[in-house]
Amino acid sequence: MKKVVNIKTEYITLGQFLKYVNIVSDGVSAKRYINESNVTVNGVHETRRGRKLYPGFEIETDDGTYLIGKAQCFI
């Protein structure tokens, strides 16, 4: 089952995403996790922690599958 992660910004980087969903604790851990684990973005293996993730993107990690959504802002 895919977990939806809503973001309020235009995009989030892969490293920030991994911290946001509590897979890693910091940027160094994110870099190591990406290099040592099977992380895919929209089905393509990814090794860049600065990869921009936009709403609609699907991220698959050893810890599960996630879908980036757009948070609704009401003023």
Domains held by the chain: number? 1
Residue 23 is assigned to a structural domain of this protein: yes
Question: Do the domain assignments include residue 75?
Answer: no
The position carrying tokens 């599960």 is: 64
CA 21 to CA 28: how far, in whole Å? 16
Query: Residue 15: inside a domain, yes or no?
Result: yes
| DSSP string over 25-61 | SSHHHHHHHHHHS--EETTEE---TT-EE-TT-EEEE
- Range(s) of the domain holding residue 62: 2-70
Q: Is residue 29 in a domain? A: yes
pLDDT per position in the chain (75 positions), as tens? 899 999 999 999 999 999 999 999 999 999 999 999 999 999 999 999 999 999 999 999 998 999 999 987 655
Indicate which CATH number applies to the domain containing 15. Answer: 3.10.290.10
Is 27 inside a domain boundary? Answer: yes
In a domain, 24, yes or no: yes
